[in-house]
Structure 1
Amino acid sequence: MNAADDWLYDSRAIRRVSAYSDAEIDHRSWPASIPAIAQVLRDGLEPASGVTFLVGENGSGKSTLLEGIATAYGLPPEGGSNQGSHSTRPTESPLGDWLRIERSPTAPRWGFFLRAETMHGYYSYLEALPNSPDQHLHSLSHGESFNELLENKLNHPRYVTGLACLDEPEAALSFASTLNWMVGLREMVERGTQVICATHSPILASLPGARILELGEWGIREADWSDLQIVQHWRSYLDSPERYLRHLFAPE
């Protein structure tokens, strides 16, 4: 087989993300004005075949980028699989319309978008479906329902390969559940699922073998786990919380 034809047999759900050449983009306005988004629109992005973590401060563009990739892939912007069409109040940016998903003809098409802030509406959608096996999700705690999604949607054996877009799943998870999710993510990758995850969790981001992209005023840069700002901040705080609290609650 010619090396130039390798892309035809690329097993990744997404090989590359880039902007359409004819996309009408106002680079002075949101979201194109966010440095990380501007970099993707200019240079494109190649997610890892396994797990790619997007980390950074609030407003750095993590969730906006993930949402844009998910909707460009064909996933519902409020969460769920590409086999659903759940929508209540559209709030997504136009980024998904600007992005082109590059993949091989043999790449898997299944995908799932877990968006922490809209899962309540997604559960209501599932509850209303006749004969749905997921009508019980509202009866579970926040964390229990996320663990159920991991077991029965994201990491179910029938979903052999595809794409999982995860937007801050740690919002619902305890320490023990976060560790369980790391096991689940590794199992998903071993079966061929490609994962892109926006997170504030230094625990999730420590997953062995994952690619970490740190977003900020510089745009996007690849980073080692130990060099991440979230890791350094958590280490400093847990080592000496009084140093932070002294400044937070100092009398004016």
Structure 2
Amino acid sequence: MFSDLYISGLKLQKNTGCQDSYVFELPSLKNVEQLSFNKKVTFFIGENGSGKSTLLEAIAINMGFNAEGGTMNFNFASQETHSALYKSMTLVKGVKRPKDGFFLRAESFYNVATEIDRLDKTGFNPFIHVYGGKSLHNQSHGESFMALVQNRFKGKGLYILDEPEAALSPTRQLSLLVHINELAKDNSQFIIATHSPILLAYPDSDILMLDDGGITKTLYKETEHYNITRQFLNNPEKMLEYLFNEI
């Protein structure tokens, strides 16, 4: 069946010599053999340690991205800490290949910004203009994130984002949704690991929950992110009173 997505699924093979035995001990991945992507925007959600960032990282490495982030042309490593899960993963790719792409992860964004500055200084042609003409280090965390998305994400691409909300205010998260929507309309695909109830509200997306039961598709208003946020905002005083009395 034809898919207009750049990645339409993945398969996990547990007997491939992967040394990271802990990866397949994660309840969310233990019994997963394959996963399908059906939307231009797919979210991974789950508690810290559930494996969503590990899974996202393995997808990115399999597509040729640098483990710490950046484009497929980035080749640097400040510290080798990535999982070997990618060795046990086979991606199901679409007929079309992305013309653009970026792997953005909040935890190593500083290293990516440093590499961009290095390439700008050592390259034959000025490089920083691709990212807005100003060093990402000379902007706030949120400003640099948005500068990258606004200037570097060109469309018709594959964009893999790991907790992009980490540096963004609620207003900037809404701005990010606008850019995601514009890029999705321009034949782009997003795979995003997030805790943000704002980003998860993106329409016509799939939300995949990683938990002790494996990986399951869930609806936005059934997520813990939505329900806890709604309960808190509806009556923050009551929830705080309950929490403080419980401690």
Establish whether residue 201 from structure 1 lines up as the match of residue 179 from structure 2.
no
Residue 100 of structure 2 contacts residue 157 of structure 2 at CA under 8 Å; is this kept in 1?
Answer: yes
1:171 to 148, 166, 190: 166
Letter in 2 for 1:35: P
Deviation at 1:166, TM superposition (A): 0.4
CA distance in 1, matches of 2:8, 2:99: 12
Q: Give the aligned CA root-mean-square deviation in angstroms.
A: 2.0
Is the partner of 1:212 in helix, strand or coil?
strand
For residues 35 and 109 of structure 1, do their structure 2 counterparts lie closer, same or farther at Cα, with a shift above 3 Å needed? farther
Deviation at 1:240, TM superposition (A): 2.1
CA distance in 1, matches of 2:101, 2:85: 18
Deviation at 1:230, TM superposition (A): 1.0
Residue 11 of structure 1 contacts residue 107 of structure 1 at CA under 8 Å; is this kept in 2?
Answer: no
CA distance in 2, matches of 1:39, 1:14: 21
Establish whether residue 231 from structure 1 lines up as the match of residue 230 from structure 2.
no
1:19 to 6, 12, 17: 12
Cα-to-partner distance string for 1:193-227 (whole Å, 9 max, x where unaligned): 11000000011000011111111111111111111
Residue 15 of structure 1 contacts residue 46 of structure 1 at CA under 8 Å; is this kept in 2?
Answer: yes
Establish whether residue 125 from structure 1 lines up as the match of residue 90 from structure 2.
no
Cα-to-partner distance string for 1:151-189 (whole Å, 9 max, x where unaligned): 1122x2xxx322111000001111111111111111111
Deviation at 1:247, TM superposition (A): 4.2
Deviation at 1:46, TM superposition (A): 1.4
Cα-to-partner distance string for 1:73-111 (whole Å, 9 max, x where unaligned): 111111101111121101111111111122145432642
Is the partner of 1:80 in helix, strand or coil?
coil
1:56 to 46, 50, 58: 46
Q: Which residue of 1 is the match for residue 29 of structure 2?
A: 37
Is the partner of 2:98 in helix, strand or coil?
coil
Establish whether residue 244 from structure 1 lines up as the match of residue 234 from structure 2.
no
The count of aligned residue pairs is 238
**Alignment TM-score, normalising by the size of structure 2:** 0.89
Structure 1: gaps of 5 or more residues: 1-5
CA distance in 2, matches of 1:127, 1:247: 49
Letter in 1 for 2:191: I
Letter in 2 for 1:14: I
Deviation at 1:25, TM superposition (A): 4.5
Deviation at 1:238, TM superposition (A): 1.6
Q: Which residue of 2 is the match for residue 140 of structure 1?
A: 139
Structure 2: gaps of 5 or more residues: none
CA distance in 1, matches of 2:59, 2:117: 27
Establish whether residue 84 from structure 1 lines up as the match of residue 79 from structure 2.
no
**Alignment TM-score, normalising by the size of structure 1:** 0.87
Letter in 1 for 2:110: H
Letter in 2 for 1:89: Q
CA distance in 2, matches of 1:233, 1:245: 12
Letter in 2 for 1:136: S
CA distance in 1, matches of 2:35, 2:117: 36
1:210 to 202, 205, 214: 205
1:220 to 215, 219, 222: 215
Residue 53 of structure 1 contacts residue 198 of structure 1 at CA under 8 Å; is this kept in 2?
Answer: yes
Is the partner of 1:57 in helix, strand or coil?
coil
Cα-to-partner distance string for 1:54-88 (whole Å, 9 max, x where unaligned): 11111111111111111111111111011111211
